[in-house]
Each structure stands twice: as C-alpha cells, then as structure tokens.
Structure 1
Amino acid sequence: MEQPAADSLVLYKRRPARVVAVTDKLEIELPGGGARRVRPKDVVPLHPGPLRSLGELRPVEGEIEAACELLAGQTTTVAELAELAFGAFTPATAWAVWERVEEGIELEGEAPDAIRVRTPEEAAAEREAREGRDRRRRAWGELLQRIQAGRVLPEDRPQLADLEGLALGRHEGSRILRALDRAERPEVAHELLLKLGAWGPEVDPHPVREGLPEAPPALELPELAAAPRRDLTALEAFAIDDEGNQDPDDAVSWDGRWLWVHVADAAALVLPGSAADEEARLRGATQYLPHRQVPMLPVQAVQRLGLGLAPVSPALSFGIRMDAEGEILDVAIVPSTVRVRRLSYGEAERRLHEEPFAGLHRLALRLRERRLAAGAVDIRLPEARVRVVAGEVRIEPLPPLASRLLVSELMLRAGEAAARYAAAEGIALPFIAQSPPDEADPGEGLAGMYALRRRMRPRQIVTAPEPHAGLGLAAYCQATSPLRRYTDLLTHQQLRAHVTGGEPLDAETVRARAGAAEQAMAAVRRAERASNRHWTLVWLLRHERWRGEAVVVEPRERRSVVIVPELALEAQVALRGVPQPNERLPVVLTGVDLPNLEARFRLERG
C-alpha cells in the first residue's frame, strides 16, 4: 500500500487514526479528538479511505467466523478478510477485522497484509488458555483480598508457599508481598504467616533460614580398625555434662601427678578427605537447638565413640604433667581405652568434697588464677538452657556451679597442652588466636560485663600458635569436642596422624579446611542464638502476664538496654531520663514480636 493520503485510515501504535493532511509529516486525528504530527514510518496504512471521521468506524455485522473457517491455517490480508466476512472492504470493515487481529484468538499478525488465520483447534486452545488466565487472575485478586482481610481459606494453603519460601530464606522475594506493596523481607513474611494462622509460634524458621540441614548425615562409617591402644581403664574417668546430654565426648582423670583428658577418638573413624569428613566440614558443628539436636557426624559416631556409653570406650587421651604452679612439664597424646562413668554437673557438684573431684577442683581453681594473672578476660553474664520437651518450653537458668568451672578449666588446659605439643612437633593445627580488648574501663557488675563483651576482638583461626588474650594463654586450640565441632575433629586428625606414624596435612590444607568449617560454624552459632531467643519469646507468649526484674546494662536517653537475668534475655525498655548502670528495675511484659525476635517490657509502677 502506498504512503497514506489524506482521509485514509492508519494504525498508530496499533490504534485507529485518520490522516488529516500530508506535508513533510502526517497530521493525524486520534480517537477522542486529539491530533498529532508524526512521520510516515510511524503509522501503518489500513485503508485508503475516504474516511471523514473516526466516528464512521462503527461496529458492522458480518460472518467473520465463517471467513476464518474458510481460510483456516492460511495467511491472508485485512482486505480479503473484509470482503469475505462483510462483503466489502471499507474503513469500518477493515477496522472490524483488525480488532479481531488485536483480540488474537482466530487471527494473528503484525501487518495488515500478513494475517494468519488460526485453525479451529488453535483458536479453541487460545480461548481456553485465556479463560484459564482470567480464572487465575480472578483467583489471585480474591486471594489477595482474603490475605488483606486476614481470613484465608484451607485451599489457599498451597499459595502461601510463596510467603514460606521467603520466611525460611529459600526465596529472595515474594510475589504476594510485592502485590501488597510490602517489604520483601523474611521477617515481614513471617509476620504475615502468623497473622493468617498459616504458622503458629512454634515454627522456628532460623535454622532453615541459615541453610542448615535438618537431619543427621546419611552416611555409613567404617568399623573401628584394630590398632595399638594404651590401656587406661585402671584410671577413674568421669564424663561430666548437662543432664540428658546425648553425645559425651570428653572425660577427665587425675592421679595426683598427671591430669588426663580423654576425648572420643573421632579421627579413628572419620578419616581426612572421607565422605564423612567432607560432610562434617560443610556442617561445621552439631546444632544444639531447643527443639532438636542435629549431629555433625553420622549417628554411628556417637554410638561407637561416646565415652561411657559402653563399658570400655576408645579415646584419644591427653596426659598433662604439671608443677605445683600449674606449669606444663610434659604432654603425652595416646590412643587409649578408658572406662568412663557419666555424671551430670549437679551430681559432680554434690561430690566436690570427695576425691578425685576435690583435687580436680583445686587444680581447676589454680589454673583459672594462672590464666587471670596472665590477662584472661572473665565475663560472667546470666545463662539459661532453653529446651522444648513434648511441646513445653523450659527455661533453666544455669547457676555458676563449681563443677562447670572444673570442666571448662580442664578442657582449656587440654587445648593448651595440645597446642604446645603441636608447636613443639611442628604440626599445623587450627590454632585459635585473639587480640586483647581495648583498655578502657568497662565498669562493674553486669553492665561492666556487658560492655567488656562488646569490646572483645573476634577470634581468628591460624595455623601457627599465637596468643589467645581472652583466655590468657600463649597458645590454644580446641581439642575436646571432635564429635561436635569440625575444628576439633581436624585437630584430632592432625595429632592422631603424628602419634601413630602417619603424615599430617600441610598448613595450607589445614587453613583451607578450617576456614570452610568456620563459615559453617558461624551459621550454626547464628541459628542457635536466634533459635534460643525464638523459643524464649514463645515461652513469654505463653506467660503473657510475666513480671520480673531487669538490670540496666547500657543506659540510654530513650530506650535503655537491659538484661533479664531469670531468662538470660537482652531487651530494651523505655524509661524517663537516663538510669544508672546496674540499676535493677521491676518490669512487666507488654508484647512479643516473634518475627523480629523482640520482647517488649515496660517499667512496672509501684
């Protein structure tokens, strides 16, 4: 078709327009009475006219369906279709045909001279697809209305997977939140799921949000190989841990001259580079969550190696001989067999007046004083154990028992001894180093402890010994929990290879493996902190009238930071004026924001 003339019908942006005049450009009339000057290439000729007004494009009666049936599967033109369907090619019939092209069911095309006529089957499929889209669009709009009203139906549950994916950290966004013009954040999705009743408070999203596995490794471990072991079954050995502990991996013995720390011989079953080793490295550590425990190693590891689970247990034993001041004189590291009795902290506390517990306690106090004299940082903030048992949330404050101090000091001494041994023998280990905190006076009481904790420098994993200022030790590595932490397992693999005549890994390999595990361990620690806080808040939801005491640890003008000792919970409280550090305040719970892990308290007026 030639360049459009005046009074011709054209398409401008796929809508009808009438050419009013032709100069260097075209002056066109638009629907609604508007006008515009455009280039000829900006329009598509549809009919040569004459067309005196766009008002002439009135609906016309015809046989468009019959024409489409006649030309099914063929390519034709607007003019031919108009003649067949309406008996004449006029501006009105040309526009009527083009409207059917735009509708896109029986006809499809981009230009008036190249229109494809769909077959009846194709047209039916297109019509069905459109009806399906319309149904989905209506259903989507109705779903959004129900969500906004907070009243979803049981059949809406699958659609809420969009919100759950974001709340669990599996998706980066949410179509529902986007449609509601709300922030696409996990906390917002969590809040909406609670409001809709799709999630109850008992849904803890934090471990999954951190990408942590929810089940033990599905791997088989080899049988424990027969190999020489020192028989230490004549020594009294005690595994002291929390009541209900499921993976006892350390125990202590004391003969008056040598301290022995026996540790589950995990490296005897989990060899470097094995499938279990690589899986443990990806997991980083065992997850100790209030509602479940997810082990780092396959379940057979604890069954075969847990100290005290069988009459005699295999171990890697650290023998440490010290002088009267606690200086290490000699270190022996040997694969062993031990006979272990399991005790809770409470049972050990009640027996501190007996030997060997009395001697071990005296030794622990001496070692602690030695560390403090070397600059160790002693941070004592309230602690609590949060557990979910048969759906019941239990919060058990952990008193500063002497038996806990006993175990922690002896485990630190084992880590120090292992680090010294490795340094002397030139063995690369994941040593742990820490720089001193700044020297500003943190103050006294809980506020001082809180400030001191905030000033602590992050620890670092290095492959050559460096001081750990926080512990007051010249060299240190974690060596007493190889069933629970990968860095401890790596330490055992290195030491065991050395003492049994094998070849330890080089420093670069140790650094790479420890670094990968440290990232995984950081995710586990974040999940454990968030999960403990989540279930503490669930407990508060179930005790909505809770009242108690809070201690100011960071005074501020508007909202001061407090610690609730009974719950080992940090929170903020709005107060008039600025309170004093360590001031004790009676507070009452006013609300819980579970998605944002916040508890709200106010000062209780007398």
Structure 2
Amino acid sequence: MKIGSLVAYKGKPAKVIEIIGNKYLISVSKDKLKVREKDIRFINEKYEELVELEADFSILEDFYEQTLSLDELTQWLFTENSPSASWQTFLLVEDSLYFYWRKKDVFVRPIEQVEKIKEDREQKILYEKRQSSFIKRVEQKTWHKDDLEFLYDIEKVAFNQSKHSQALKNLNLKSTPEVAHQLLIDIGYWSLKQHPYFQRNKIELDDIDVEITNNSVARLDLTHLKSYAIDNEDSTDADDALSIDGDKVWVHITDVAGFINKQIDEYAKNRGSTIYTPDTIITMLPSNVLKSLSLGGETSNTISIGFKFIDNQISDIEVVQAIIKTINISYDEVDVKITTNDFEKLNNIAIKHYEFRQNEGAVSLNLPKINLEYKNDTVIITAEKNSQARKMVAEFMVMAGHVISIFAQDKKIAMPFLSQGENDFKKIEQATLSEQFEMARNFPKSKTSPEVSSHSGLGLKSYIRITSPLRRYMDLVAQQQLLAFLNNKTPLMADELKQIIHFDNKALSKVRKVSREVINHTKLLYLKQQKNKKYSAIVIGNSKKIIFCIESLAIVNEIKTKKSFKLDEKIIVKVQEIDIVNSVVEWSICDND
C-alpha cells in the first residue's frame, strides 16, 4: 500500500495521502483521518474519480466455490483493473450475494447459495412492505388478514409465551403482556371479551380422543333403588346420585377409576380439576371419557357408599362396586318435590346431619353467590337461588366424604384426607356481612395429607373429598385407593400419596388462579357494559381504606376516602374508570339518593 492508493474505510472510498510510521493519513469525503492498517482495506494502487461499470456475471459458473484475489476477480468481471472496476468488485463482495471475504481474498459462492440469498432478500422486501402496511393500519386502529403473522407475534407476548415481539418493537411499543393485550383490543383483533389467562397460566386446552377400558368386575345390583342424580338443568356430566332404602342412605359415585388407563390418568393429573368459567368449561377428563362415564342412560357403574345416620351416629357402612339405574333430575324439580316421598326422607337426614355438624363447631357462611354467563357477548349476572335441594345434595356429599374417611381408617387405607385446623376466632351466630368476611379471612388454610386430622370448618373429625372423580383429580385418587382395596390389590402407600398430593397442589394453584382471573375479567366486562350505573354496597372493612361488597355482583373492592363509615353501613358506589387489561377498577362513593 502506497501514497495515492484507493482504499476502503467503513464502506467508503478513501485515498492514502501520507504514511506516518505504522499509520496512514487518508482522505475520505472531505475529511482527513489518521488510521491503522487494519482499519482500511486495500482496493487499488491508484485513486481516481469512480464511475459505475457493468460486471459480466456469466463468468462466475467457471469459479463457483473457488477463492480469488480481489485483483483476479476484478479482471474476470470487468476485463480491467481500473480503480473503478476494483471499487465495483469491492462493493459486490461487500454486498455478499455472489461473494464473501476470506481475509484478503474473495470466495465465490456456489449457485445454490446465490439463489437462496436472492430468495431471502425478495422475501425480506415483501416482509418489509407487509410490515409497513401493518404499521399504517395499527395507526388507524384496524387490521387485515395480511397482518396475521405480526398479530400472532404480538399474541405470544400477550399470552406471556414470549418476552420479545419484533412487531411491537417496530411500533415503538414495549414487549409486555399488558401492552400487547391492549394493542390487540385497540385494533379490534381481540374483543373485550377475549382474554389471555388460560395461556398465561399454561392451561392445556387441547382435548384427546381415547377409549376407556373394559371393566367386567362383579357388581352389586342396586337397580331396584331409585337413584337420583340431582344437578343443574343443563348438566350432562353427573357424577353422583342419591338413594334411600328404608333408613339406609346410598351415595352413588360414578366409577371412573375402574375404566381409565394410565394415559387418561396422566391427562387428569396434569389438569388437576375441571375449570368452570362463564363461557368455557375445560374438563379434567377427555370429553369422550366424560360422556361415557357420566351417570345416566339405562344403567351406570358406580362405587356406592351405603350407611345409616341415626342419633348423630354413622353406622352400617358399606362400600361396594355397584350397578344402578339413574334418574336425572334438576335442582329446581327437586325443590318443588322436597316435601314428598324419597326427597323428604333424604332432606330430613341431611338437615339432621347439618345440625349435628353445627353443634360440633362447623362454620357456615352465607357470602354472596352469583351466576355469571354470556348471552350474545353480553354478561348476565344473577343471584344464585336459595335452593334446599342444593343444600341437601351438598350435605350428602359431605356425609359421603366423612363416611369414607371412617371406612379408610378402619381398613387402614392411605387416603388424601382434607383437614382444617382449629379456628382462632369466635363463631358468631346470625353474623353480619362484615363479620362473615372477617371469619372467612381468618379461616385456617385447609390441607390435604395422608395424615388424619379434623376439619374444623365442617365440624368433622375426619373428611375426604370423594364424590367428584369426573371433576377433581384428588377425588379420583381417593376412588383409585378404594378400588384397589375392594379388588384385593395393593393401594398406594402414604409416601406415594404425598408425592401425588404435592403435584396436585401445584396443578390446583394454577386452576384457582386462572378461575379468579377469568371471573374477575368477566365482572369487569359487566361493569363496563353497565355505563354510569350506581350500586348499593355494604362496608365490610374500614381500617385504612373503605372495603365494600356489592352483594348483587359478589364484588369486593376498596376506595380511598377521607370519610369514615361504620362496618355494615350501606353506601352507594359507582365506577370511575375500568382498565380491562390490567384488571383494575376505580370506584367512588356517591351521595345517597
């Protein structure tokens, strides 16, 4: 390299005007710079005004996958080694379509690589055009089907499945779940109803098609009994039924454990529980299994629990694999017939057992309960009916769990016992709403364990959830333990059960979290649809902030205010602002009308 040479500096042509020791003084554009040799690339011994030349690319087929010097390549492409030809060759190598640098020499790409690079560049140009159109549409708060690749990219962030979105970056927006969610709503790609909570909580939504196994064990024939599967009118997956035979009660539970294989069990284990939301039910079991094993049809296979409850004592316990004829009937129908025949007998036993538990210290709270549903994308909230049939069925489910806990202890079967420590608050009869919420806040946390312990909230010395094997995995595990014992097989030991309980607790944590989030989202949507509406509320907390409950909506929230209110005082509140994406509502207190 000598004075007057053409060199390249940061992609620009430059002229060497002086050599100073091991450095070079170059002229680039209108500037003079002192640089090291490694900062420049030699192009040609001469520097002159550069002109564009046309290369002959047809010669390349003779040089694919060969290495040439810059001078050699220039000569072949332009049949000359002028500064302009050398510079043009340099630019072609820098472009990296046909060639790339190997130190000071140039490697000629094979034709396959060239074609692939061309295709990639064409796709990039098309992509950039689509991206530009997408950005313009976003600015206009709309979208088009051509935008789906960008929208899917943004959805991944909204679902918290990705921490980065190039589409959001190109829109100068942060790649956060909330920003992505808001954008999808703003442009109308998502409706306000749509939410990301299943995906954020990694809830499996896919169903599988799997056959149940054939179980031909001997069963006790109880088809002579009237077995009532009492449920909601639209229910199609009943898992329990009641019978009365003289003074003996039978609680029949659909036999799930006897008909599922390891694949179905793993499927249910990973889900932990059926998830009920206002517009979606994500079943614990595959849908075809659920349909096959639900009580109904001509006959049903069950694990049936027989017992007597006389003078506050459980006796004559039987646990058998049985076959029954199910009468499917709704709560509303039973409410009408509650004082007749079998229903009266069953209801009287349920009431006596409830009173027994109350005397044993059970705590029953009457907190607001509602039904949430969608009708044509409009949220409908209705108060849950005060149904004696519901109370009766719920009481028998508690009784069945207590009976099985007695049976398991007697037979020394390891079981997932549900316990709750002693309450550290005084039970209040006829408690006000604020007192009920205070008791609810101070309830000891319930625990599932192979170790037997009392359940203070239920007023029972031992208890096992057993009656919902279609919907709760731990109920299914309890049924599997029973079935192993009944068929002279070895049930799981306590240590094995502990591991399953630990896994289930993690699964249920996700289920509870996503249920809360979806229900809260639906309530916010309801509030947004009820513009400027005022609500009657009751003060249930008044320490630093006013905590209130809107009973008709089962909503508990808080307001900052300098005013003071008494517990259980009625106030009127209204919504100031709703942020659907961040699940936040700001309330204000209104003057009483």
Match of 2:465 in 1: 478
Report if the CA contact (8 A) 1:8-1:47 is conserved: yes
Match of 1:103 in 2: 95
292, 297, 315: which one pairs with 2:285? 297
**Which ranges of structure 1 fall in alignment gaps of 5 or more residues?**
50-55
Distance in 2 (CA, whole Å) between partners of 1:447 and 1:160 is 46
Query: Could you say if the C-alpha distance between residues 451 and 147 of structure 1 is closer, same or farther in structure 2, counting changes exceeding 3 Å?
Result: farther
Report if the CA contact (8 A) 1:102-1:108 is conserved: yes
Match of 2:520 in 1: 533
Residue by residue over 1:547-577, the C-alpha shift from the partner in whole angstroms, topping out at 9 and shown as x without a partner, is 332233344656x443322122334445453
Query: Could you say if the C-alpha distance between residues 83 and 205 of structure 1 is closer, same or farther in structure 2, counting changes exceeding 3 Å?
Result: closer
280, 294, 313: which one pairs with 2:268? 280
Shift of 1:481: 0.9
Residue by residue over 1:16-62, the C-alpha shift from the partner in whole angstroms, topping out at 9 and shown as x without a partner, is 5555655564153463565666554554444456xxxxxx6632254
Match of 1:238 in 2: 228
Residue by residue over 1:206-237, the C-alpha shift from the partner in whole angstroms, topping out at 9 and shown as x without a partner, is 334433344654111134415131x4445444
One-letter code aligned to 2:239: D
One-letter code aligned to 1:398: E
Query: Could you say if the C-alpha distance between residues 20 and 436 of structure 1 is closer, same or farther in structure 2, counting changes exceeding 3 Å?
Result: farther
Match of 1:577 in 2: 563
Distance in 2 (CA, whole Å) between partners of 1:394 and 1:192 is 27
Shift of 1:67: 9.2
Is 2:17 aligned against 1:26? Answer: no
Is 2:385 aligned against 1:434? Answer: no
Report if the CA contact (8 A) 2:17-2:27 is conserved: no
Distance in 1 (CA, whole Å) between partners of 2:412 and 2:54 is 95
Report if the CA contact (8 A) 2:401-2:463 is conserved: yes
Shift of 1:239: 2.8
Distance in 2 (CA, whole Å) between partners of 1:358 and 1:190 is 53
TM-score, structure 2 as length reference: 0.86
Shift of 1:491: 0.8
Secondary structure, in 3 states, of the residue corresponding to 1:496? helix
Is 2:449 aligned against 1:462? Answer: yes
One-letter code aligned to 1:368: Y
Is 2:582 aligned against 1:596? Answer: yes
381, 391, 413: which one pairs with 2:367? 381
Match of 2:318 in 1: 332
Report if the CA contact (8 A) 2:219-2:320 is conserved: no
1:243-258 mapped onto 2 (5 Å cutoff)? 243-254=233-244, 257-258=247-248
Is 2:147 aligned against 1:156? Answer: yes
Distance in 2 (CA, whole Å) between partners of 1:257 and 1:67 is 101
Secondary structure, in 3 states, of the residue corresponding to 1:396? strand
Distance in 1 (CA, whole Å) between partners of 2:542 and 2:49 is 78
Query: Could you say if the C-alpha distance between residues 601 and 258 of structure 1 is closer, same or farther in structure 2, counting changes exceeding 3 Å?
Result: same
One-letter code aligned to 1:515: H
Report if the CA contact (8 A) 1:463-1:507 is conserved: yes
Shift of 1:591: 5.0
One-letter code aligned to 1:463: P
243, 267, 291: which one pairs with 2:257? 267
Shift of 1:280: 2.0
Distance in 2 (CA, whole Å) between partners of 1:494 and 1:538 is 44
Identical aligned residues as a percent: 27
Once the two structures are overlaid, the 10-residue window that deviates more, 546-555 or 380-389, is: 546-555
Query: Could you say if the C-alpha distance between residues 512 and 63 of structure 1 is closer, same or farther in structure 2, counting changes exceeding 3 Å?
Result: same
Query: Could you say if the C-alpha distance between residues 81 and 169 of structure 1 is closer, same or farther in structure 2, counting changes exceeding 3 Å?
Result: closer
Query: Could you say if the C-alpha distance between residues 174 and 449 of structure 1 is closer, same or farther in structure 2, counting changes exceeding 3 Å?
Result: farther
One-letter code aligned to 2:318: A
Secondary structure, in 3 states, of the residue corresponding to 1:59? coil
Secondary structure, in 3 states, of the residue corresponding to 1:291? coil
Report if the CA contact (8 A) 2:449-2:498 is conserved: yes
Aligned positions, number: 590
Report if the CA contact (8 A) 1:72-1:120 is conserved: no
Is 2:131 aligned against 1:140? Answer: yes
One-letter code aligned to 1:77: S
Report if the CA contact (8 A) 2:53-2:88 is conserved: no
Distance in 2 (CA, whole Å) between partners of 1:285 and 1:116 is 62
How large is the RMSD of aligned CA atoms in angstroms?
Answer: 3.7
One-letter code aligned to 1:421: F
Shift of 1:7: 5.3
Report if the CA contact (8 A) 2:14-2:26 is conserved: yes
Once the two structures are overlaid, the 10-residue window that deviates more, 441-450 or 152-161, is: 441-450
One-letter code aligned to 1:240: I
Match of 1:52 in 2: none
Distance in 1 (CA, whole Å) between partners of 2:539 and 2:349 is 36
Once the two structures are overlaid, the 10-residue window that deviates more, 447-456 or 407-416, is: 447-456
Secondary structure, in 3 states, of the residue corresponding to 2:538? strand
Report if the CA contact (8 A) 1:266-1:301 is conserved: no
Report if the CA contact (8 A) 1:423-1:464 is conserved: no
Report if the CA contact (8 A) 1:62-1:85 is conserved: no
One-letter code aligned to 1:199: W
Distance in 1 (CA, whole Å) between partners of 2:334 and 2:117 is 78
Residue by residue over 1:166-187, the C-alpha shift from the partner in whole angstroms, topping out at 9 and shown as x without a partner, is 3345545433223334343333
Query: Could you say if the C-alpha distance between residues 79 and 268 of structure 1 is closer, same or farther in structure 2, counting changes exceeding 3 Å?
Result: closer
Shift of 1:128: 5.2
1:26-105 mapped onto 2 (5 Å cutoff)? 26-29=23-26, 31=28, 39-48=36-45, 58-65=49-56, 73=64, 75-82=67-74, 89=81, 94-105=86-97
Once the two structures are overlaid, the 10-residue window that deviates more, 189-198 or 367-376, is: 367-376
Report if the CA contact (8 A) 1:68-1:106 is conserved: no
Query: Could you say if the C-alpha distance between residues 449 and 78 of structure 1 is closer, same or farther in structure 2, counting changes exceeding 3 Å?
Result: same
Secondary structure, in 3 states, of the residue corresponding to 1:552? strand
Report if the CA contact (8 A) 2:56-2:78 is conserved: no
Once the two structures are overlaid, the 10-residue window that deviates more, 236-245 or 418-427, is: 236-245
336, 347, 350: which one pairs with 1:350? 336
One-letter code aligned to 1:26: K
Report if the CA contact (8 A) 2:272-2:472 is conserved: yes
